[in-house]
Amino acid sequence: MPHDRTPPEATAPKTAAPEATAQEAPRPEAAPETPASGHRTRRSRLRRRLLAGLSSALVLALGATTSLLWLAAGKLVHPMDDTPLNTSIVASAPGTVTLPATTDSRYTGTFGLIWQDKETGQRHHGTLGPVLASDDDTVTRELTADTPPVPGAKAKVIVTVWNSDPKQALGLDYQDVTYPGKLGPMPAWFLPGTNTTWVIQVHGLGAGRAAGLRTMPQLHDLGHPVLDITYRNDPGAPRDSSNTRHFGDTEWRDLDAAVRYARDHGATGVVLLGHSMGGGIVETYLQRAADTSAVRAVVLDSPALDYHATLDTIVAGLGLPAPVAALEAGIVGLRSDVDFDDVDALAANQRTGGPKQPVLLFHGTGDTVVPYATSAEFAHDWPNKVRLVTVERASHTGAWNADPNAYAKELAAFLALHT
């Protein structure tokens, strides 16, 4: 049988391969990239870039949102900045003004109107009367003003009907007085009366004493002396080191001083009348003051009883998501150095067994600042102490403006019963 023959290359001498070490382990050649794996690599790279871009955008958006909320919080804790003007004058004639048709301009009742001179920047104030004519685009109302507005001027409808002192606005003789607060003399308007039960009026956030002019004529006719007060950080009043609002957390001390002033000057009792944040100040005073025995009754108008709910309402009105409200509450609390749980009047009354004095409470269902629901809850919780007067579609602290006669009737009956 033929023998197998070995190929010539097989008989060539062999050279021993060097021994591989751990440090020099041979590397297998990379497998060639298939089209599918290339697509996966590109998608992964694009995904990483997209996530990085989204993260950067979210950081930027959060930073921008936080900055805007910080500025908005500044308007709340420093409320005496110029009121933002949100409409404009369409036309004017002697005794009338025409405005764009908006919810504010269509409100029935008596309101104030402020507008700004385009050349000088000076602001003017007038009183809006009844609606004379309206269509889909405009509303024409009565206007009482010393200076007629010019078409095109920026303007705003407000609940503060008069923007001067009691004598100039209403012809009522009054006295400029000061009462001794912890930070120094606190300015106030005092309207004398024959009754020994005084009414102490506490204005809301940025409104000033002029907010109390609406009820002064009636209180004067009923014989009640009226003390319309300022509190710390108001224009003309002493300022604390922060120069910010504290939502009743410190301002209640100024109300406490005003009550002592009334008692020292002949008052046998007082009625506390608070608007908006002023209502919150009244409630905080009643919870914290050592002696509230002089208080005969309480009148609250759109009171800030729960600031968390108030900020939720404001943020919702701006069309922002609910989580932003929590963020804004935190920012406002930080800027004002206030824990809103400490000035929550609804919770405080639950802890202490409810109001000790009778309460008359006005609130409009059209309030977009302080939710009507908080007043409804207060009245529901304490039906034997709180009388809630609901004013349909009325704006924030706008119950008097919507129907002065109905407001006066409720107030007179309440005071007759409890003073």
Q: Kindly state the average pLDDT of the residues 136-162.
A: 96
| Tens digits of residue pLDDT in 311-338 | 999 888 877 777 777 888 888 888 899 9
- Could you tell me if 328 and 376 are in contact, meaning their C-beta atoms sit under 8 angstroms apart? no
At residue 57, does pLDDT exceed 60?
no
| Rounded distance between C-alpha atoms, residue 244 and residue 257, angstroms | 20
Same topology, domains 87-158 and 166-418? Answer is no
What tokens appear for 167 in the block? Answer: 């004598």
Amino acid at 186: M
| Tens digits of residue pLDDT in 102-124 | 999 999 999 999 999 988 999 99
Q: Kindly state the average pLDDT of the residues 389-418.
A: 97
Question: How many Cβ atoms from other residues are within 10 Å of residue 17's Cβ?
Answer: 6
pLDDT for residue 238: 97
Question: Which CATH number is 87-158 given?
Answer: 2.40.30
DSSP letter assigned to residue 209: G
Residue corresponding to tokens 């409804």: 376
pLDDT for residue 328: 80
| Tens digits of residue pLDDT in 222-253 | 999 999 999 999 999 999 999 999 999 999 99
The CATH number of domain 166-418, selected from 3.60.20.30, 3.40.50.1820, 3.50.50.60, 3.30.465.10: 3.40.50.1820
Q: Kindly state the average pLDDT of the residues 12-20.
A: 44
pLDDT for residue 84: 86
Q: Kindly state the average pLDDT of the residues 159-176.
A: 97
| Rounded distance between C-alpha atoms, residue 398 and residue 241, angstroms | 33
Mean pLDDT of all residues belonging to the chain: 88
| Rounded distance between C-alpha atoms, residue 119 and residue 121, angstroms | 6
Q: Which residues of 209-228 are buried (b: 16+ CB within 10 A; e: fewer)?
A: bbbbbbbbbbbbebebbbbb
- Domain boundaries, given as residue ranges, for the chain: 87-158, 166-418
* pTM (2 d.p.): 0.84
- Tallying the residues shown for the chain, one arrives at 419
| Rounded distance between C-alpha atoms, residue 215 and residue 219, angstroms | 6
pLDDT confidence bin for 163, thresholds 50/70/90 = very high
| DSSP of 294-353 | TEEEEEEES--S-HHHHHHHHHHHTT--HHHHHHHHHHHHHHHT--GGGG-HHHHHHHHT
In terms of DSSP H, where are the helices of 237-276?
252-264
